[in-house]
């Protein structure tokens, strides 16, 4: 089974509500979706979510990168995974989301060849997982309202986004915890995502206040700038609350630096950041061998990316946390098949590969 062609298309999915991303409010999720076609007629699916404020990739850059990589892998045998990955990651620098789309399609095809679902191919540890739900950075009142609604809807883990203003950040987290405790008393976990919003000493002061107030924060995600590994270690070493590295970890080399310095207690793995499943395996293996737990995260991805991420998460015992809630924000889904999402539970089916059967509204992108 050899790679014969890669076709690209775009799907736009409306969101239920506006989603704050940096200084922008998104009402649609736009993704580049590829169909990798083999000489036997089999089709593998992959997708890339443009996140210019994180990966530096736009729709146009993803299209350009995939088009650039395409001739390098045409003709390669799907079973020669090592050669394909060597070519993929050496053909162009960066462009990890574009590489992830190709990587996911390759794994989809490889699993289809042997008639096995992706999660079993990767390890087969379990068939379902529980995700948190994100409470986006907003006014205190709005965040409390959304948190209570989530709890009433059955969610047991809230990821509260902060990072704009120190005093307001503390007030928001305090208000959410107080409201949730009053509503259900116990059993609701709260994670805090600072989105690189604090300086190291500032982060230590804020997190210690969380601790002194008894807010029972499960962990704090990326409290300082992604490049500031020493600052991240300073925070980790000076608080009792666990610290998770997110934007600080793109590829395996970043993970190695974090692990070597013990700069974080947990590592977030995202396929769009690290370049796909193959690199995710490398990050995971390093972390597991050094006794560091992992969380599976995602960008604003639809069912293809979420199915790939959930399959990877379900396959591994050391991926103990999941932040794969973006499909909950979609008004409808153009992808038929794949992982099933019901409330906070994501279930993987036993169809070969990703289990994707159709993409509604997919239109091929014509390249001049």
Q: Are 353 and 113 in contact (CB under 8 A)?
A: no
Q: pLDDT tens for residues 213-242?
A: 999 999 999 999 999 999 999 999 999 999
Which residue out of 70, 172, 270, 316 is catalytically annotated?
Answer: 270
Establish whether 174 is a catalytic residue.
no
Q: Are residues 21 and 139 in the same domain?
A: no
Q: Are residues 180 and 89 in the same domain?
A: no
Q: Are residues 103 and 134 in the same domain?
A: no
Q: Are residues 105 and 14 in the same domain?
A: yes
pLDDT at 23: 52
Q: Per-residue pLDDT for 368 more than 80?
A: no
Task: Please name which of 283, 278, 281 lies closest in space to residue 267, comparing C-alpha atoms.
Answer: 283
Q: Per-residue pLDDT for 125 more than 70?
A: yes
Query: CATH no. for residue 81?
Result: 3.30.390.10
Task: Please name which of 359, 66, 103, 142 lies closest in space to residue 251, comparing C-alpha atoms.
Answer: 103
Residue position matching structure tokens 């053909």: 91
When pLDDT is cut at 50, 70 and 90, the band that residue 352 belongs to is: very high
> To the nearest whole number, what is the mean pLDDT of the chain?
94
The Cβ of residue 361 has, within 10 Å, a number of other Cβ atoms equal to 13
Which residue out of 112, 120, 161, 316 is catalytically annotated?
Answer: 161
When pLDDT is cut at 50, 70 and 90, the band that residue 255 belongs to is: very high
Q: Are residues 150 and 259 in the same domain?
A: yes
Q: pLDDT tens for residues 48-65?
A: 999 998 899 999 999 999
Q: pLDDT tens for residues 141-195?
A: 999 999 999 999 999 999 999 987 888 999 999 999 999 998 886 789 999 999 9
Q: Are residues 304 and 198 in the same domain?
A: yes
Q: Are residues 92 and 15 in the same domain?
A: yes
pLDDT at 239: 98
Query: CATH no. for residue 327?
Result: 3.20.20.120
When pLDDT is cut at 50, 70 and 90, the band that residue 331 belongs to is: confident
Q: Are residues 134 and 175 in the same domain?
A: yes
Q: Are residues 49 and 104 in the same domain?
A: yes
The Cβ of residue 233 has, within 10 Å, a number of other Cβ atoms equal to 19
Q: Are residues 149 and 44 in the same domain?
A: no
Establish whether 161 is a catalytic residue.
yes
Domain that holds residue 59: 3-115+360-364
Beta-ladder partners of 192: 160, 220
Q: How many domains does the chain have?
A: 2
Q: Per-residue pLDDT for 19 more than 80?
A: no
Q: Per-residue pLDDT for 206 more than 80?
A: yes
Question: What are the start-end ranges of the E strands in the chain?
Answer: 3-21, 24-38, 43-48, 128-130, 133-135, 157-161, 189-193, 217-221, 242-245, 266-269, 293-296, 319-322, 335-337, 340-342, 345-347, 356-359, 363-364
Interval 337-353 mean pLDDT: 94
Q: Are residues 111 and 242 in the same domain?
A: no
**In terms of residues, how long is the chain?**
368
Q: Are residues 279 and 254 in the same domain?
A: yes
């Amino acid at each position: 089974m050899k790679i014969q062609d890669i076709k690209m298309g775009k799907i736009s999915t409306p969101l239920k509500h506006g989603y704050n991303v940096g200084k922008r409010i998104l009402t649609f999720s736009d993704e580049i979706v590829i169909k990798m076609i083999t000489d036997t007629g089999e089709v593998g699916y992959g997708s890339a979510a443009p996140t210019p404020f994180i990966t530096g990739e736009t729709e146009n850059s993803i299209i350009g990168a995939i088009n650039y990589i395409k001739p390098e892998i045409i003709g390669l045998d799907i079973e020669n995974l090592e050669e394909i990955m060597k070519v993929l990651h050496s053909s162009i620098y960066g462009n990890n989301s574009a590489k992830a789309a190709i990587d996911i399609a390759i794994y989809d095809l490889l699993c289809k060849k042997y008639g096995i679902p992706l999660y079993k191919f990767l390890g087969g540890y379990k068939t379902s997982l529980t995700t948190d739900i994100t409470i986006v950075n907003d006014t205190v009142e709005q965040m409390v309202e959304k948190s209570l609604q989530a709890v009433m809807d059955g969610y047991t883990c809230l990821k509260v986004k902060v990072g704009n203003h120190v005093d307001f950040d503390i007030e928001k987290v305090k208000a959410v915890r107080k409201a949730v405790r009053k509503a259900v008393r116990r059993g609701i976990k709260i994670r805090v995502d600072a989105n690189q919003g604090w300086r190291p000493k500032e982060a230590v002061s804020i997190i210690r206040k969380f601790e002194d107030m008894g807010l029972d924060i499960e962990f704090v995600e990326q409290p300082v700038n992604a490049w500031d590994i020493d600052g991240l270690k300073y925070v980790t070493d000076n608080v009792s609350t666990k610290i998770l590295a997110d934007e600080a970890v793109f590829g395996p080399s970043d993970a190695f630096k974090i692990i070597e310095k013990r700069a974080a207690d947990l590592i977030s793995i995202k396929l769009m950041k690290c370049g796909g499943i193959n690199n995710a395996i490398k990050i995971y293996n390093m972390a597991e061998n050094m006794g560091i737990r992992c969380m599976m995260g995602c960008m604003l991805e639809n069912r293809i990316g979420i199915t790939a991420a959930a399959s990877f998460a379900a396959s591994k015992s050391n991926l103990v946390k999941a932040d794969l809630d973006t499909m909950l924000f979609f008004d409808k889904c153009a992808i038929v098949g794949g992982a099933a999402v019901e409330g906070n539970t994501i279930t993987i089916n036993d169809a070969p590969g990703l289990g994707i059967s159709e993409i509604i509204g997919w239109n091929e992108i014509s390249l001049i």
